[in-house]
């Protein structure tokens, strides 16, 4: 078995040697899926996984725009159309200076499995730009988004590829992107998700990734006869996913101790309650400030510069910022401090070594492709509502989101339960996600 996995990974490395994040994501999938393929004749010998690691299409393009001082700026735009076996490509756009081919390919690859797990008909894709929205005026953001869509519009469409938000792309950016798509195509369709409520957006979409992550963690805790009541929860990030994860933890009776951004984390021993969270939402979403400014209103909290919050003692950890933000030493600190559950809101926030620590300690651990799938699932529900030209109520969407997270949890149990009863959610999510896509690819032949 080891030889099969090594031979496969060597080949992928040979072709993608300078893409570390992509190789990390492929390795995690290969180690759990290849043993399954070997045991199942219908998949064996068909190079299914080799086909899945090769994007169906990669688009890169120039994005030129003029900043407020009249300077011409040049950025790079990308769209990775990874796999369309079970539906149109679907996945977010990330605007961040670190964006490159490796990061977008890892995200697109993860997205294929995640979208499959939702049970909705969505293929996998991802895109974005090395554009840094930090410190830019609203007008600069608008000009950049319009320029970006000035090329992307050729490659997407409601039945082809439906982008959404990700890091650096929230409702403001989706609005500007949608406006330009509509102008260029002269049609009003559900080509993007995460739209505003008055122009085709779905209720609960902004909350969906964070809420979904907490619903998933709740399901994991339930397997131990436990729940969020009274639990101390450490959260990283303070963006879309972190904010709504915090909101749902509070609703379920937990205590939120930390939030962070790329400059450091805040620790509030008294707990970040609903009022304090509203302050954070205003600070981050409207004023576009830094998390350290929390202390100006709540001076009893502490700000730890340049660090992640994993040394803070907690029962549950929700990494909701970015990839590889939680390493082996962080994982050991969490386990040593008694953490019983880690549920990823971000994509691939835990390193491979960190996941091994969680598995060895036999604590509950959910990989992002399962636990953060609520965002794209609700995007799928937004697409359905757009097609029907209909709007479900908040309660209807929330119930569907909860049901989907519960079904994903069940799929993980189906493929991830060990003989001793421990659930390897990584294996469960990878195999469950793989099976549906692989079956569709086999049915469609070699294309």
> 38: exposed, middle or buried (C-beta count within 10 Å: 0-12, 13-18, 19+)?
middle
Distances (CA, A) of 76 to 141, 306, 336: 15, 28, 43
Nearer to ligand NDP, 240 or 386 (CB): 240
Interface with ligand NDP: number of residues (CB under 6 A): 24
Contact flag: residue 213 with ligand NDP (CB under 6 A): no
Contact flag: residue 367 with ligand NDP (CB under 6 A): no
Nearer to ligand NDP, 348 or 441 (CB): 348
Cβ atoms of residues 61 and 446 within 8 Å: no
User: Does the annotation mark 126 as catalytic?
Assistant: yes
Contact stretch for ligand NDP (CB under 6 A) within 72-80, 319-327, 406-414, 418-426? 319-327
Contact flag: residue 123 with ligand NDP (CB under 6 A): no
User: How far is it, in rounded angstroms, from Cα 35 to Cα 15?
Assistant: 22
Nearer to ligand NDP, 227 or 324 (CB): 324
Nearer to ligand NDP, 164 or 423 (CB): 164
Catalytic residue among 126, 248, 276, 369: 126
Contact flag: residue 371 with ligand NDP (CB under 6 A): no
The full length of the chain comes to: 447
Contact flag: residue 241 with ligand NDP (CB under 6 A): yes
Contact stretch for ligand NDP (CB under 6 A) within 50-58, 318-326, 409-417, 419-427? 318-326
Angle at the Cα of 248 (from 265 to 304), degrees rounded to 5? Answer: 5
Among 372, 385, 398, 430, binds ligand NDP (CB under 6 A): 372
Contact flag: residue 347 with ligand NDP (CB under 6 A): yes
Angle at the Cα of 290 (from 284 to 295), degrees rounded to 5? Answer: 105
Q: Following DSSP, what letter does each residue of 63-106 receive, concatenated?
A: EEEE-TTS-EEEEEEEEEEEE-SSSSEEEEEEE-TT--HHHHHH
Which residues 171-210 are close enough to bind ligand NDP by CB under 6 A?
209
Contact flag: residue 163 with ligand NDP (CB under 6 A): no
Among 117, 152, 321, 426, binds ligand NDP (CB under 6 A): 321
Contact stretch for ligand NDP (CB under 6 A) within 83-91, 160-168, 328-336, 399-407? 160-168
CB of residue 300 to ligand NDP, shortest distance in Å: 22
Nearer to ligand NDP, 150 or 349 (CB): 349
Contact flag: residue 343 with ligand NDP (CB under 6 A): no
Cβ atoms of residues 238 and 260 within 8 Å: yes
**Residue 388, Cα to own-chain centre: how many angstroms?**
26
Give the strand order in the sheet containing 124-129. Answer: 57-66, 72-83, 124-129, 89-95, 161-164
Angle at the Cα of 273 (from 269 to 274), degrees rounded to 5? Answer: 165
User: How far is it, in rounded angstroms, from Cα 314 to Cα 291?
Assistant: 20
User: How far is it, in rounded angstroms, from Cα 365 to Cα 352?
Assistant: 12
Contacts (Cβ under 8 Å, ≥6 apart) of 182: 188
Contact flag: residue 116 with ligand NDP (CB under 6 A): no
Contact flag: residue 351 with ligand NDP (CB under 6 A): no
Contact flag: residue 166 with ligand NDP (CB under 6 A): yes
Contact flag: residue 426 with ligand NDP (CB under 6 A): no
H or E element at residue 364:
strand 364-366
User: How far is it, in rounded angstroms, from Cα 385 to Cα 7?
Assistant: 45
Place of tokens 């965002």: 375
Nearer to ligand NDP, 227 or 285 (CB): 285
Contact flag: residue 401 with ligand NDP (CB under 6 A): no
CB of residue 283 to ligand NDP, shortest distance in Å: 11
Catalytic residues: 126
Interface ranges with ligand NDP (CB under 6 A): 165-168, 170, 209, 237-242, 261-263, 320-322, 325, 345-347, 372, 375
């Amino acid at each position: 078995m080891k030889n099969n996995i090594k031979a496969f990974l060597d080949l992928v490395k040979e072709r993608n040697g300078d893409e570390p994040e992509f190789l990390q994501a492929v390795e995690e999938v290969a180690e759990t899926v290849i043993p399954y393929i070997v045991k199942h004749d219908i998949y064996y010998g068909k190079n299914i996984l080799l086909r899945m690691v090769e994007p169906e299409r990669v688009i890169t393009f120039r994005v030129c725009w003029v900043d407020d001082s009249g300077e011409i700026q040049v950025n790079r735009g990308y769209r990775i159309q990874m796999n369309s076996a079970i539906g149109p490509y679907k996945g977010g756009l990330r605007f961040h200076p670190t964006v490159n081919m490796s990061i977008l390919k890892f995200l697109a690859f993860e997205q294929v499995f995640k979208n499959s797990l939702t049970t909705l008909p969505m293929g996998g894709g991802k895109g974005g730009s090395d554009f840094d929205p930090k410190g830019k005026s609203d007008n600069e953001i608008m000009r950049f988004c319009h320029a970006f869509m000035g090329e992307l519009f050729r490659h997407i469409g409601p039945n082809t590829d439906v982008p959404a938000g990700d890091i650096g792309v929230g409702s403001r950016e989706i609005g500007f992107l949608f406006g330009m798509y509509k102008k260029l195509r002269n049609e009003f369709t559900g080509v993007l998700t995460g739209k505003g409520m008055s122009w085709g957006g779905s209720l609960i979409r902004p909350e969906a990734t964070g809420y979904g992550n907490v619903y998933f963690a709740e399901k994991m805790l339930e397997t131990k006869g436990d729940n969020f009541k009274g639990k101390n929860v450490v959260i990283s990030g303070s963006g879309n996913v972190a904010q709504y994860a915090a909101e749902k933890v509070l609703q379920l009776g937990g205590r939120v101790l930390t939030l962070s951004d790329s400059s450091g984390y805040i620790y509030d021993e008294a707990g970040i309650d609903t009022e304090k969270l509203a302050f954070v939402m205003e600070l981050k979403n409207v004023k576009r400030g830094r998390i350290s400014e929390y202390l100006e209103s709540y001076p009893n909290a502490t700000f730890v510069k340049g660090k992640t919050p994993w040394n803070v003692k907690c029962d549950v950890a929700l990494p909701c910022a970015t990839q590889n933000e939680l390493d082996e030493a962080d994982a050991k600190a969490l386990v040593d401090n008694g953490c019983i559950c880690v549920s990823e809101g971000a994509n691939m926030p835990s390193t491979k070594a960190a996941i091994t620590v969680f598995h060895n300690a036999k604590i509950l651990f959910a990989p992002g492709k399962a636990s953060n799938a609520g965002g794209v699932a609700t995007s799928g529900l937004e697409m359905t509502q757009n097609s029907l030209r209909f709007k479900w109520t908040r309660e209807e969407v929330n119930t569907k989101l909860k049901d989907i997270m519960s079904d994903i949890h069940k799929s993980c149990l189906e493929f991830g339960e060990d003989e001793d009863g421990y659930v390897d959610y990584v294996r469960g999510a990878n195999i469950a996600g793989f099976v549906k896509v692989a079956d569709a690819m086999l049915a469609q032949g070699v294309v």
